[in-house]
Structure 1
Amino acid sequence: MSAISANGVSQLHFIDDLITLRGGEKEQPDILACTSGTTIDRYEYFTAKRLDNLINNAAHVLKQQGLSVTGEEPRCVAVLGTSNLEYLTNICALSRLGYSVLIISPRLSVPAYNNPLDETKCSTLVYMQEYSKIVERLCEVRQSQLATTPMLQKQDFDRDGIPEARIKRTAPNAALASPHTAFVMHSSGSTGVPKPIFHSHRRCLENFQNGFGLSALITLPLYHTYGFSTFFRAVYGRTLMYLFNWNVPLTSTNVIKTLQAANPQLLSTVPYTLGLLAESEEGINALKNCELVTYHGSACPDELGDRLVQQGIFLVGHLESTESGPLATSNRAPEDTSWSYLRFLPFVQPYVWVKPIDDNAYELVLLKGLKAKIFSNSDTLPESFHSRDLFEPHPTIPNAWKYIGRLDDRVTLLNGEKVLPLPIEGLIRESPLVKEAVVFGIGRAVPGIMIFRNHGTDKGSVIRAQTYNVFSGLIDDVYQRRDNIEEGGLTLEIPKTANLILGFCKSTLELSVDSAHSDLFASGLDSLKAIQLSVFIRKNFNLGGNGPSIGQNVNYDHGSVNRLAELVYHSRVGASLEAVDDTSTINAWVEKYSQFENPTSPAANMPKSSRHRVILTGVTGSLGAHILAKLAQSSHVEIVYCPVRKLDDVDAMSRVIQSLRQRKLSLDQDSSAKVIALYSDIGKNDFGLETAIFGIMKKTVSLIIHAAWSVNFNLGLSSFEDQIKGLSNLIQFSLDVEQSKPARFLFCSSISVASRVPVTTDVTESLITDYNHASRTGYARSKLISELIIGKAAQLGARSSILRIGQIVGDSVHGIWTNMEAIPLIIQSARAIDVLPQLDETCAWIPVDYLAETIAELSFITNQMHFADDSNLPLVYNIVNPTEFHWTRDMLPAMKEAGVEFTPIPPSEWVKRLEKGDTDPSKNPAIKLLSFFQYRYGGNTTHEYRQPRFETTQTQRDSPSLGKIPNIISAGLLSKFIAVWDEK
């Protein structure tokens, strides 16, 4: 649509002026079609001129009843009714008389009407007779503070004997009156009580310009913002709008008959109605007859939308809010099937900020300058509106966003995983047997769902927070019954037990587990499936009264079906099942994965290149992304191959670009051209790559940096075998390259391999020989095994180095440090429980951007002659910040200076406070690692975790950047990290 400028529209100051203008035009197309009674296929049609006359008549009648406005500031009158000719006429007549109109939904509870009425200082209510009982109760609640008037019926204003004189809304200065309130809508009340949202004449006139220019059937009620605006868009565009008859039920049969009678070009409806129509071939055909089908009000379930689009229906989503008017649609080229991805309207796009919330979720923020925005709610960004609506970007189409829910809709489980309720609820609501579905589980181990049976009443909007409150007792009881599972009665031998568990893992959990000895985590066991497996074991097997000890971590610690079967057996008979002997596993795996073939003989007459081709793993993580940025920007690097794991249908390069963007890293065109992202599996000998690509890499790669590793402290050692196999394959590849010497290989290890070295002993830059010096986590011991394998490979001629890295923190520029790691969670606990632990720990944190620079220097890409003969190539580099600080003496005071309020207490007391704190991870994030903190700080174990000192002589010699790392405290980086977390 064009701007309000043509045909005298630019001179309009009031909404009523638009109706008067269209009513006075020579050509008079029909713009409104209504039915009456309970008919759904016999329409009465109205031109703008006829509507203008009916509105004028109604204004005269209302004036005779005592409704008139004096003074320049309009008074407010509330209207309660449903969608029909009378409803529209009364609203427009009140507006013509000079009132601002509060349009209230009949779906509210009686007490909920109070706030909109109070906030608008509204003392008069015009209502439809069918809502008289609601009005009676409302008058009782308001103690006669509300004057009520029945709504005019058609026979009241479509008759003879009414004065013909034109009533024209006027003001001493109409241009100045244009910003006055025309209509007041209200919020749903999801955060408490419904709040009034004021729409000025000027903003409404700007809003009404946006339409498709098609005849339309609308099944949304007129008290819905989009439904109300659609009528005025029809007036503006001189197009015909059909009203669905709300005197009949909204059933598939009635909607189909209405579509057949009206034959509109456009259907505007809600996903629920689409679901009704999609149940039958007749409904699908009725939709096919429309040029365009739009949905509003909520997200359309993917399964439903995909089904309609596959049937040839052009489905378009609309994002329009009461607070801001139309924002985005999924209107697109006919061949584009991405119906669920919205594109912001051109006049909206400059005022949109999609604010990152977590990995792939962004909140829509509307910025200062958007004309249709009538509400602001932010102090940090003045005059901006944080919508709390969440979106995810299209993997390949720029500026295309899919609605995934609301910030207050997401159900965050105890382990920090987030469940998006809307797709689940939407799918279940498609059933005609279901009135409503609500997912719950905030702060719990697993989610649940409440399903309400349909008794034929309207499917309204459920307010999530209120539902949780009303049914809190029921929800608590569900989880209590789940936790108090009665043990099963099966008493089987280990092989038969293993067969049952294996069958459950394959059929119910859908794990790709090959045998009872396969690693469950590698087969796809996540935290939710681990809980399901624990429940299955407890419900089916006799555990000798030891059922409560079978928690989800047992599935990680005993990482195969066979080990779980042994646990079940020994629990029943009362024998102790010793943990797997890590020492024997370490020795066995070091031997197994150190069987390298000798380096390939140097290729004759190999051309020497001054530029490197690099394999870099882990680019979707923070460290890998920063290393990639350093390498790609280096003139000494020609190509960076980035292996990434396959994820859905998102292409590999998109995942790499997204990883860089999350860290606010960017590459220019030349640097980007160096990056080649490949779906691969380094656990396979050929990395799962095409033969041609793998062959080119063998001929050209001269440097490998392995920065990918699973960081999960819940996993036992057995779950890391695939990671170690991948490491072994990369080392063999470095030996097999067809060049004058093996490719340089750098492995990103961890100081956790030596975290239990006595604090009186320095950790040298050499291999760890005492396994007890490694942390007891599976993660640390898998890194230790990797170091030992690399040591053996070096003896065979591998040009390998171990990068033993300390605590990585956010970058020094933006302060981006994921708030899901242990240390950030501890620090953030100050906000939730007002205390922090007084740890006796010395910290040598290293910002990730400085670490990436150090690794680039240690790879010698800028100094090929540094170790020309490789005879003095260091095997181990310790990479920690040479400038240390103390947690309690230095960091806690710095946090006080940064404005964080807390009380320092002993670690064991802090754990107790954490245990008693809020169980909702969105409010108390540290609760997600409660078991880890209990293990580490719950007892009198502080000294056990004091960090030994790590020597960095070789590292500082070969990497000048290490000595330039700033002091985290004095450089203000801590304050920067805290600011980023607070923003999230």
Structure 2
Amino acid sequence: MRQCRENRPHTAIYSYPSSVIDYVDYTYQQLDAFAFRVAQQYALLIPSRRSSADPEIVVGLLGPSNLSYFITMLALSKLGHTVLLLSTRISQAAHVSLLQTTGAKYLLIDPSFEGLAKSVQETLTYLQFYLISARALFDYEVEPGLDTRLDQALDPKQETNKTAWIIHSSGSTGLPKPIYQTHRAALNNYQESLNMRGFITLPLYHAHGVSSVFRAIISGKHIHVYNASLPLTQQYIIGTMRKHNFEIFYGVPYALKLLGETMEGIEILTRLKVVMFGGSACPDVLGQKLVDNGVNLISHYGTTETGQLMSSSRPSGDIAWDYVRPSTKLQPYLRWEERYPGIFELCVLDGWPAKVASNKPDGSYATKDLFTQHPAIPNAWKYYARMDDTIVLMNGEKANPLATEGAVREHANIAEAVVFGTGKARLGMMIVPSAATSGLSSDEIVDSIWPVVTAANSVVPGYAMLSRDMIKVLPCGTEYPRTDKGTVIRQAFYKQFAKQIDESYEEITSSEALSLSEAELRAYIRASLIPLLELKDPSALTDDTDFFSMGMDSLQTTRLRATLVRNIHVNGNKLGQNIVFEYPSINDLAKALFDLITGVSSGAVSIEEDMRLLIAKYGRFEPHLPAQNDPEGQYRLVTGATGSLGAHLVAQLALSDSVRKIYCPVRATSIDKARIRILKSMRERQVHHTLSMEARRKIIALPSDISKETLGLDVEVYEQIADDVTAIIHCAWSVNFNLGLRSFEKDCIAGVKNLITLCLKSRRPTPASFNFCSSVSAVAATKGGIVPESLPVELSYAQGMGYAQSKLVTEHICALATEQTGIRARVLRVGQVVADTVHGIWNDNEAIPMMLQAATTIGAVPKLDESPRWLPVDVVARIVKEISLSDAESGVMNVVNHQSFHWTRDFIPACHKAGLQFEEVGRREWIDRLRRSNPDPKVNPPIKLLDFFASKYDNDKPTTSLGYDTDLARKWSPALAQATVLDQSLVDKLIRYWMVECWRVSGNTQPQSQAIVIAGPCGAGKSTVARTVSDHFGVPWIEGDNLHSEASLAKMAEGSALLDEDRAEWFERIKEIVNESFATQEKKFVVVTCSALKHAHRERLRYIGGNVRTTFIMLQASRDTLMSRVGGREGHYMKVDMVDGQIAITEAPGIAETDVLPVDVEVSKETLLKDVVELVSSIS
């Protein structure tokens, strides 16, 4: 690269997008300078080689093939290191194996792989990993005349035979194997080039991808690299090709399939001089279609072990696009060994310059790739298959079927199992049943082996999994090709059953469907559900059991519907996508299906009638019996404390002087687990660390189940709450917008009845008030444009989903409770709740964050004509608190911002300003892009909400929005009256939170080691806690008290407090010992005991240096406890009279000190140590 820079510094050679498909051209000079800058950064993290005699240092590289990835390859090479190019698609076990086998002790990763790196590090504890340098750290103006050499200490002649890259096999026959490529072999491989301006969609961790890029660089032909942050879609490929004048395209057959789907894509390909594919065979039909339309399609064949070998480059008029031909230079180094009649394995002989591996005694390399010879063209070969049974899917992924086949074959019901799918989008499996299946249907046979298939699916990549609908059952006794040892002959099997395999990929016709009675439908649904839900006790599934109460999830509803579509004859009718959600019990679903079959109009009651039935069922209450018990203060019961609003509400109530206790019922099996769930929730929302010890002690965690009459509590606890409670705030609700109304009955609607009953059992002069957090979805279909602060005139005004309908049912139940008993039952109808104003925390799994995350996955956000009325979650919590503590009477209040903003004119520009880059597109185009984007929800999370987004935006209907009367709510809540419209500060915070904490697109280097400081005043028990943590986790413990200078110890022994200048030396000594500990021991964290009472003290310890971050566990206790404990010590330099001094200088954690985790030590020693161990586990 440096040589190219010297010869043609200003020649543009490499292009990569700044956003979406807006490419930036980079010169040789820039690339070399960028690599130099990044190399200097990595030199601070990875030891340098002092001479060529030093052993090579292997550095793993894991991430998408973006500009930072490529520059990192160059930078590590500049430093003389060997780069292990790791695929992003292999398993964790494969990563561990490759890092271990190659001796790599360092790993550079894209932020999106931080979780994987941490998991790998649990096995390879010596492994150090850092983030790949972000683009902003190197992509800026280049100074002329910069000397970019960093390898002056290395001998070029010796380095030529050192390993440049380690590329690995696909792992198709087991774990991937590393393949070592020297600088000499790589350069020999890169000399061959077609000398054309190119566009590449291949990843750089594949041999074909990295070779194509370096061939372009050596030949001086400009290459454009596909944007690695975008899904591979027709739109983006075509968009790029239309903007630039390319001569050659490099891709896998999947990319050709995308382009071949439209004449526009084919027309784009015909403009190119060459369209080259590799990685897997191109399906004959697709390739022929492209060639017939004038595309110069060339197959590239090579291996990681041998470099590029052959292509189907051919003279004009030769249409044999799928037959590769060796060059005259290569021909002497090839040997064709016949394995089956007319089928030959390719072997590459020793002496071929690019060959880096041998696997035969004569030094040759047997590729295990099989070819057939062209009947007329000399020395032309067509790829046939792999010898090792690997199945190569259409997208080039390689799946090894042997483990799955072997597991299924072991089942008593199976005589043979053969996985198929070569050249297809997904795998299928043919099974030949054994004689043991006599009398069983095909579905019953598949049911019997499904647990085995599920287990096999759990240990293979996603693309190698089998779905139930792709398992095909052949007749028992079917003859199939076998060897004399009885094993299946795979290729012959595929040929014999080609018709059945092809049919497996077509739509299953209705001729296979069953015509069943209603009773038979019930039996069929039950039989389908038991294995689907993996029920250990099938008797728990009654005909009226709600499926979702049994734990059914969305994926299982999809599978059940697919089973019904495939197997049940419904008289030509179509099953709705949500039929399982709408009829979530065996009785309801069977009746709905039978009505479709018979053509009888459904006798089911309407949704509105069902809502009326539920209101009547749960809307009857016994009167309150007044009592004289009326202790001072407010006693609150808050549900939903593990949710965002609930956590903020509990924190704010705890800070209120008038509130004495806050009971928090949560689903848990013990008090400890309930407490841990609440603490975890509050810490995640960063509202726990600022609470004083007195405030935290108000929070009472209760393991409970509100669907039960006494909330699942012990009688004594229930009675105590009835004595105390002055108000209940009900925030908890099941948030699943797919569920039907009846699925909300047991846990939600029945729970409301039980909570109101508890209010009425209050032993006070008046019942406790009930404050229900409803939703604007309960009135989203209101007619007239303005929603009043009252019950709607029609039940049909609820949005058309069970969630909204159940909320409106509850609003009516609240009204009935007031009417019958006089209880103050307030309905707080909450609008869109967004991130908090302090930290910008907003659950990234919600719809709006998902929509904005599409900016990072598909590069686009929709332009919407909407005017949201958002309220930050901490503001909503304040509103609910104010109203619940007020004298407001029963009724409905709309907790909605009275000010709005415009999505496209206000919010989108604010997102751009906050640093989020994306293209603004129309809403239907956005849906189309999302629909055609990567279907993997791990890579592309917004795809999970495609149906939801499409139902809202895949139409041309004008957007309408409701207004809300908020006069009453604003009267009782100053926070709502003063609520402001969206501001840039909030947008900055929420975008930063998503990008850094959720989407992992920040380039900031994350520390890899952690110092956990057990802090607190003398007598808090720091040493006891630290010793327990050290012993439990097997990590070093550094006792800060032992590191004081003799002068400081003498000073304290005299009863004098240390000054800040005394402590400065102490802090520096602690930091020095921490760094020494990490340097000498390969541990993820160390424990340090140090009082760290003041902000300034903690700030000093936050910057230990190197790659260390600090977390403080602040032990807290009352003055009396501290005095008692210190007074009981013997021979300690810390005296009782110094306790007050420490209390006086103690500074509570500030809002920004989210790394301080306070712990109350005035509990049993067992509880304290258990809580701390749990806490350390969650942060380390």
User: 1:794-835 CA distances to partner (integer Å, 9 max, x unpaired)?
Assistant: 112111100100000011111111111122222222333333
* Offset, 1:618: 0.8
User: Do the aligned residues in 2 keep the contact of 1:190 with 1:463 (CA within 8 Å)?
Assistant: no
- Cα deviation, residue 982, structure 1: 5.3
Provide structure 1 residue ranges, at least 5 long, that are not aligned to the other structure: 1-70, 77-97, 105-114, 123-178, 198-219, 229-320, 326-352, 384-407, 409-424, 452-461, 861-865
Superposed CA deviations along residues 451-482 of structure 1, whole A, max 9, x for unmatched, are 9xxxxxxxxxx99999778x699999779958
State the partner residue of 2:835. 810
In structure 1, what is the Cα distance between the partners aligned to 2:52 and 2:468? 46
Task: Determine what percentage of the aligned residue pairs are the same residue.
Answer: 31
Equivalent-residue separation in structure 1 for 2:652 and 2:427 (angstroms):
42
* Aligned partner (choices 538, 542, 549) of residue 575 of structure 2: 549
Which of residues 131, 134, 144 is equivalent to 1:377? 131
- Check if 1:646 corresponds to 2:668: yes
Alignment of 1:776-791 (within 5 A): 776-791=800-815
Structure 1 position 744, deviation (Å): 1.2
- SS of corresponding position for 1:843: coil
- Any conservation in 2 of the 1:754–1:768 contact (CA below 8 Å)? yes
- Whole-Å separation in 2 of the counterparts to 1:472 and 1:478: 11
Distance 1:463 1:517 in 2: 32
2:106 — aligned with what?
A: 323
CA contact (8 A) 2:818 2:890 kept: no
Q: What's the offset of the Cα at 1:855?
A: 0.9
**Cα deviation, residue 786, structure 1:** 0.5
- 523 and 942 in structure 1: CA distance in 2 versus 1, 3 angstrom threshold: farther
Instruction: Provide closer, same or farther for how the CA distance between residues 581 and 626 of structure 1 changes in structure 2, counting only shifts above 3 A.
Output: same
Which AA in structure 2 matches 1:879?
V
Counterpart pick for 1:769 among 782, 787, 793: 793
- Taking the aligned partners of 1:224 and 1:357, their CA distance within structure 2 comes to 15
720 and 74 in structure 1: CA distance in 2 versus 1, 3 angstrom threshold: same
1:969 aligns to what? 983
- 1:885 maps to 901
Gaps of 5+ in 2: 1-47, 61-70, 138-204, 206-401, 412-418, 432-455, 473-502, 999-1180
Q: Deviations over 1:290-312 (max 9, x none)?
A: xxxxxxxxxxxxxxxxxxxxxxx
Mapped contact 1:323–1:373 kept (Cα < 8 A): yes
Give the match's secondary structure for 1:615: strand
Deviations 1:14-54 (A, max 9, x none): xxxxxxxxxxxxxxxxxxxxxxxxxxxxxxxxxxxxxxxxx
Change (3 A) 1:185 1:557: same
Question: Is the Cα contact below 8 Å between 1:857 and 1:958 reproduced in 2?
Answer: yes
The 8 Å contact of residues 513 and 519 in structure 1, kept in 2 or not, is answered as: no
Alpha-carbon offset, residue 747 of structure 1: 0.3
The structure 2 residue matched to 1:517, chosen from 538, 541, 544, is 544
Task: Tell me the distance in 1 between the aligned counterparts of 2:938 and 2:856.
Answer: 12
Q: What residue number does 1:697 align with?
A: 721
Q: Distance in 2 between matches of 1:445 and 1:665?
A: 48
CA contact (8 A) 2:639 2:665 kept: yes
Rate the CA distance shift 1:468–1:733 in 2: closer, same or farther, 3 A. Answer: closer
The whole-number CA distance in structure 2 between the counterparts of 1:474 and 1:498 is 24
Checking the alignment, whether the CA contact within 8 Å between 1:643 and 1:678 is kept in structure 2 is: yes
Task: Supply the distance in 1 between the matched residues of 2:404 and 2:700 (Cα, whole angstroms).
Answer: 39
Q: Which residue in 1 is equivalent to 2:553?
A: 526
- Check 1:446–1:724 CA distance in 2 against 1; reply closer, same or farther (3 A cut): farther
Distance (whole Å) between structure 1 residues aligned to residue 425 and residue 807 of structure 2: 30
Go from structure 1 to structure 2 and tell me whether the alpha carbon gap of 1:193 and 1:976 turns closer, same or farther (over 3 Å shift). Answer: closer
Q: 1:481 to 1:562 in 2, by over 3 A?
A: farther
**Counterpart code for 2:52:** R
CA deviation profile, 1:583-642 (whole Å, cap 9, x unmatched): 101111111111111112x113x2431x22221111111111111111122222222111
Asked whether the equivalents of residues 814 and 976 of structure 1 are also in contact (C-alpha less than 8 Å), the reply is yes
For the structure 1 residues 799 and 101, does the alpha-carbon distance in structure 2 shift closer, same or farther, using more than 3 Å as the test?
Answer: closer
Match of residue 75 from structure 1: 52
User: Could you list the per-position Cα deviations for residues 299-351 of structure 1 after superposition, in whole angstroms to 9, with x for gaps in the alignment?
Assistant: xxxxxxxxxxxxxxxxxxxxxx73279xxxxxxxxxxxxxxxxxxxxxxxxxx
Runs of 4+ in 1 over 6 A off after TM superposition: 101-104, 115-122, 191-194, 355-358, 370-373, 380-383, 425-434, 444-451, 462-469, 471-480, 647-650
Number of residue pairs matched? Answer: 603
Q: Spell out the pairing of 1:852-891 with structure 2 (5 A cutoff).
A: 852-860=877-885, 867=887, 873-891=889-907
Separation of aligned partners in 2, 1:639 and 1:678 = 13
1:485/1:539 contact within 8 Å kept: yes
- Give the Cα separation in 2 of the matches to 1:925 and 1:357: 15
| Segment drifting more, 635-644 vs 484-493 | 484-493
User: Which residue of the partner structure matches residue 966 of structure 2?
Assistant: 952
Cα deviation, 1:364-411, whole Å, max 9, x if unaligned, reads 4999xx99776532447999xxxxxxxxxxxxxxxxxxxxxxxx9xxx
Offset from partner CA, 1:237-283 (integer Å, 9 cap, x none): xxxxxxxxxxxxxxxxxxxxxxxxxxxxxxxxxxxxxxxxxxxxxxx
**Matches for 1:186-335 after TM superposition, within 5 Å:** 186=84, 189=87, 225=100, 322-323=105-106
Aligned residue number for residue 328 of structure 2:
none
**Is the 2:935–2:943 Cα contact (8 Å) retained in structure 1?**
yes
> Aligned partners of 2:565 and 2:551: how far apart in 1?
21
TM-score (norm 2): 0.45
SS at structure 2 position matched to 1:826: helix
Amino acid at match of 1:966: T
Give the one of 848, 864, 868 matched to 1:839: 864
AA of the residue aligned to 1:323: Y
Taking the aligned partners of 1:856 and 1:446, their CA distance within structure 2 comes to 54
Would you say 1:581 and 2:606 are equivalent positions? Answer: yes
CA–CA distance in structure 1, aligned partners of residues 120 and 49 of structure 2: 32
- Measure, in 2, the Cα distance between the counterparts of 1:841 and 1:504: 43
The alpha-carbon deviation at position 562 of structure 1 amounts to 1.2
TM-score by length of 1: 0.54
Alignment counterpart, residue 910 of structure 2, candidates 888, 894, 897: 894
C-alpha contact (below 8 Å) 1:440/1:468 kept by paired residues: no
Matches within 5 A, 1:393-404: none
Q: Structure 1 residues 503 and 696 mapped into 2: Cα distance closer, same or farther (>3 Å)? A: farther
Please give the alpha-carbon distance, in whole angstroms, between the structure 1 residues aligned to 2:735 and 2:919: 31
* 1:725 Cα deviation after fit: 0.8
1:398 maps to which residue?
A: none
Q: 1:507 Cα shift?
A: 5.8
Q: Which amino acid aligns with 1:934?
A: A
Cα gap change, 1:433/1:745 in structure 2, threshold over 3 Å: closer, same or farther?
same
The one-character-per-residue Cα deviations of 1:932-951 (angstroms, maximum 9, x if unpaired) are 222222223333xx221111
Structure 1 pair 515–365 and aligned structure 2 pair: CA distance change class (3 A): closer
Change (3 A) 1:624 1:468: closer
1:931 aligns with 2:947: yes
Could you say if the C-alpha distance between residues 120 and 891 of structure 1 is closer, same or farther in structure 2, counting changes exceeding 3 Å?
A: closer
Provide the rounded CA distance (Å) in 1 between the counterparts of 2:765 and 2:983: 47
**Are the counterparts in 2 of residues 612 and 636 from structure 1 also a CA contact under 8 Å?**
yes
Aligned to 1:734: 759
Cα distance change, pair 630–193 in 1 and its aligned pair in 2 (3 A): closer
Matching of residues 86-97 of structure 1 within 5 Å: none
Paired residues of 1:817 and 1:977 also in contact (CA < 8 A): no
| Aligned partners of 2:105 and 2:126 also within 8 Å | no
Q: After TM superposition, list the pairs within 5 Å mapping 1:818-833 onto structure 2.
A: 818-833=843-858
* SS, match of residue 651 in structure 1: helix
Distance 1:512 1:473 in 2: 29
Cα distance in structure 1, aligned partners of 2:787 and 2:420: 49
Q: Deviations over 1:549-603 (max 9, x none)?
A: 364x321111221121123223333455477511101111111111111112x11
Say if 2:782 and 2:792, in contact at 8 Å, map to a contact too: no
Partner SS for 1:549: coil
In 1, are the aligned partners of 2:855 and 2:916 still within 8 Å (CA)? yes
Q: How does 1:590-609 map to 2 (within 5 A)?
A: 590-600=615-625, 602-604=626-628, 606-609=629-632
CA distance in 1, matches of 2:91, 2:718: 62
**Counterpart residue number, 1:720:** 744
